[in-house]
């Protein structure tokens, strides 16, 4: 039985969206991140760029629900950070951060109004950043002769695998990435065509955008 393919949803790029409510302007920014350090650096960048804004409400989510943080940044408790975090959770997006910058327009919006505005700004920013599904793939390393290397290069594309830059010496060392659903078939083919002399070993993992369905 093949193992279950691990997938996650994150953002493809940075997205920005803006809305206005009773003269208050809410600017949402959503961005993919990998660590808490990246999240804090992104927040510092926005604070430095817009120092005159009244609030910079933020939330981020890493590795699913393993790490989640949020802040109202001076707004009434529960009216900013939690609604923004809820947008990330409900959209299924992980390894991502949203910062909503507010320029106060002089008219109080009330708790309900703040929740609606922060939620909407976050949602629009996430939409602009475009959610993308990734799947975990293994990186394999193979050591082979020069003739087998040429044959290996010809086979990899047939299984959707991608080779990295090889290392040449007496033999050739090449690393390649293949999706989980093609892994077993490719490894079998490499053993078959080289009489078992090429035996790739796993050396790492990475997440790649999910392969489109035919």
The yes-or-no verdict on residue 2 having pLDDT over 70 is: no
**E-state strands within the chain:** 7-11, 15-21, 24-32, 55-62, 67-71, 96-103, 131-144, 162-163, 167-168, 172-178, 201-209
Say if residue 205 is in the same domain as residue 117. Answer: no
Say if residue 41 is in the same domain as residue 112. Answer: yes
CA-based end-to-end distance of the chain: 24
Say if residue 76 is in the same domain as residue 109. Answer: yes
Say if residue 63 is in the same domain as residue 17. Answer: yes
Q: Could you identify the residue written with the tokens 């293994």?
A: 138
Task: Examine residue 152 and state whether it is found in any structural domain, yes or no.
Answer: yes
Say if residue 43 is in the same domain as residue 148. Answer: no
Q: Are 24 and 107 in contact (CB under 8 A)?
A: yes
Q: Could you identify the residue written with the tokens 């350090």?
A: 37
Report pLDDT for 211: 55
Please provide the average confidence, as pLDDT, over all residues in the chain.
Answer: 91
* pLDDT above 90: percentage of residues in the chain: 77
Say if residue 111 is in the same domain as residue 30. Answer: yes
CATH number of the domain to which 167 belongs:
3.30.70.240
Q: Are 142 and 176 in contact (CB under 8 A)?
A: yes
Report pLDDT for 179: 86
Beta-bridged to residue 96, according to DSSP, are 32, 61
Task: Examine residue 1 and state whether it is found in any structural domain, yes or no.
Answer: no
Say if residue 91 is in the same domain as residue 18. Answer: yes
Domain count within the chain:
2
Q: Which of 129, 149, 182 is the last residue of a domain?
A: 129
Report pLDDT for 135: 87
Mind listing the pLDDT tens digit for each residue in 179-200?
888 899 999 999 999 999 999 9
Mind listing the pLDDT tens digit for each residue in 8-47?
889 999 999 999 999 999 999 999 999 999 999 999 999 9
The mean per-residue pLDDT over the stretch 136-144 comes to 92
The yes-or-no verdict on residue 209 having pLDDT over 90 is: no
Half-sphere exposure of 82 (CA within 13 A, CB side): 9
Q: Could you identify the residue written with the tokens 């830059």?
A: 165
Say if residue 112 is in the same domain as residue 166. Answer: no
Say if residue 92 is in the same domain as residue 21. Answer: yes
The yes-or-no verdict on residue 213 having pLDDT over 70 is: no
Report pLDDT for 4: 67
Say if residue 75 is in the same domain as residue 119. Answer: yes
CATH number of the domain to which 110 belongs:
3.30.230.30
Say if residue 101 is in the same domain as residue 65. Answer: yes
Task: Examine residue 189 and state whether it is found in any structural domain, yes or no.
Answer: yes
Say if residue 84 is in the same domain as residue 153. Answer: no
Mind listing the pLDDT tens digit for each residue in 74-98?
999 999 999 999 999 999 999 999 9
Report pLDDT for 1: 35
Task: Examine residue 214 and state whether it is found in any structural domain, yes or no.
Answer: no
Whole domain around residue 63: which residue ranges?
A: 7-129
Q: Are strands 172-178 and 162-163 parallel, antiparallel or unpaired?
A: antiparallel
Which residues, including other chains, have CB under 8 Å from residue 158's CB and lie 6 or more apart? none
Task: Examine residue 19 and state whether it is found in any structural domain, yes or no.
Answer: yes
pTM higher than 0.75: no
Report pLDDT for 123: 97
Q: Which of 129, 146, 168 is the last residue of a domain?
A: 129
Task: Examine residue 167 and state whether it is found in any structural domain, yes or no.
Answer: yes
């Amino acid at each position: 039985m093949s193992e279950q393919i691990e997938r996650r949803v994150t953002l493809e790029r940075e997205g920005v969206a803006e809305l206005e409510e009773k003269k208050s302007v809410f600017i949402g920014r959503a961005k993919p991140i990998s660590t808490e350090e990246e999240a804090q650096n992104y927040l510092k960048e926005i604070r430095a760029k817009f120092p005159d804004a009244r609030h910079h409400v933020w939330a981020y989510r890493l590795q699913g629900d393993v790490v989640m943080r949020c802040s109202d940044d001076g707004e009434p408790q529960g009216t900013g950070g939690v609604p923004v975090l809820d947008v990330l959770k409900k959209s299924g997006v992980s390894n991502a951060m949203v910062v909503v910058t507010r320029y106060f327009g002089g008219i109080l919006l009330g708790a309900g109004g703040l929740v609606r505005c922060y939620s909407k700004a976050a949602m629009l920013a996430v939409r602009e950043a475009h959610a993308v599904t990734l799947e975990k793939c293994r990186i394999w390393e193979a050591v082979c002769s020069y003739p087998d290397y040429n044959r290996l290069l010809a086979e990899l594309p047939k299984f959707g695998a991608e080779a990295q830059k090889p290392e040449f010496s007496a033999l050739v060392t090449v690393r390649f990435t293949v999706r989980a659903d093609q892994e077993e078939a490719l490894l079998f083919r490499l053993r078959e065509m080289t009489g078992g002399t090429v035996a790739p070993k796993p050396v790492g993992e990475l997440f790649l955008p999910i392969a489109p369905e035919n």
